[in-house]
Amino acid sequence: MWHLTFLLLTLSHRSTAQTTEPAATAVMNLCDEAAYIEQLRTGLEQQLTTSRTRLRDLQNEATELELAAASATNKKTKRAYYVLEARARARAARQSQAINVAEEVMTSSLQNLAKIEAQLQLLYTIYLTTEQKRGTATKASDNPSIYGTTTYNCAVTTTADAAEYATCKAQAAAKHAINGAYTELSQESHIKATPDAMFKRRSLKITAYVKGTIGNAMGTRDEGQCQDSSAALASTTHGIGATIEFADKTDAALTDVQLTQGEGSSGRCPDGDPDKDKGTVSQAGLAYAICKVRNMRHCFVVHPTTRRRCTDAETGIRPRLPA
């Protein structure tokens, strides 16, 4: 019995508010998420390749049977070959129809999964830590001011992070449970994904700490006037200190994302791709991409004798070949 498997079966009937299967549950950080998405993308690509290979095999089989029928001299043998050829061509037609129906959805979803992977890779290099690294605070003389003979400025700078994405992949590879992402998807109702806020310009918080009076500052030693921490200033009378950090550190925490609208196998995909014509993919767009492809497997299975046609609402496109 031959099946065109573009993705696994639909959601299980149980309703949950979080991930349940080992692969999705093992996703704890950005690196894990990237590995999980890679597993899904690779699985989809293999399914599409397998389906096309199966189509070519059926077409070749039909051609071979046609040639065998043409060269057969016995009428019964010739008739038998023609019957087998007709069956092979019918199976090939169903296989071709299923590919035509599903390929557009598959291609779109694969593109979105690839975009997500690229976003996560870039994000890893930009936000290696949850807090900006601070270099040493420096103090320098500026132009004369109305206060005393010299005004000093205090500069607190951040240093660049260097991140090698191969390190990220190696960390995730150690979690073997993630390798089951594709095969477990039929039983999973949620995935873990990086919040959309991380793909935007994150808000920075700068906090300054100032102490001193004009009189005291003018007569105090040049000590501890400028520092890069939130601790009490070293100078007992005057100075400025500052910290720079992300305004909301929870932006980096992965959150659960529901794949369908509704519960269990009765859940349906969201109406329309929320990221259509956009350069990036959001959490909602990721859920939509996975949901649409999985529905293809649910509503259109090619079988030697039976099949079910996807409705337009389920696929989002109209089948290209007649029933």
Question: Which residues does residue 184 pair with via DSSP β-bridges, in sequence order?
Answer: none
Determine the pLDDT at residue 120: 92
Determine the pLDDT at residue 193: 93
Which pTM value belongs to this model?
0.72
Token pair in block for residue 8:
């696994």
Determine the pLDDT at residue 224: 62
**3-state class of 206 per DSSP?**
strand
- Spatial distance between the Cα atoms of 9 and 295, rounded to a whole number of angstroms: 8
Instruction: Give the CA count within 13 Å in the CB-facing half-sphere of 87.
Output: 10
Token pair in block for residue 261:
């609208």
Determine the pLDDT at residue 222: 53
- Spatial distance between the Cα atoms of 197 and 21, rounded to a whole number of angstroms: 26
pLDDT in tens, the chain (323 residues): 333 333 333 333 344 467 778 998 999 999 999 999 999 999 888 888 888 898 999 999 999 999 999 999 999 999 999 999 999 999 999 888 888 877 888 888 889 999 999 999 988 888 766 566 666 666 666 554 444 455 666 677 777 767 788 888 888 988 999 999 888 887 788 889 999 988 888 887 777 776 665 555 555 555 566 666 656 666 666 666 677 778 887 888 899 998 887 665 446 777 788 998 888 899 999 998 888 777 665 544 433 334 444 555 555 544 343 33
Determine the pLDDT at residue 234: 64
Determine the pLDDT at residue 6: 34
Burial class (CB in 10 A: 0-12, 13-18, 19+), 73: exposed
Determine the pLDDT at residue 9: 33
Token pair in block for residue 199:
């793909």
- Spatial distance between the Cα atoms of 112 and 118, rounded to a whole number of angstroms: 10
Determine the pLDDT at residue 45: 87
- Spatial distance between the Cα atoms of 119 and 100, rounded to a whole number of angstroms: 30
Any residues with CB less than 8 A from the CB of 46 and at least 6 apart, and which? none
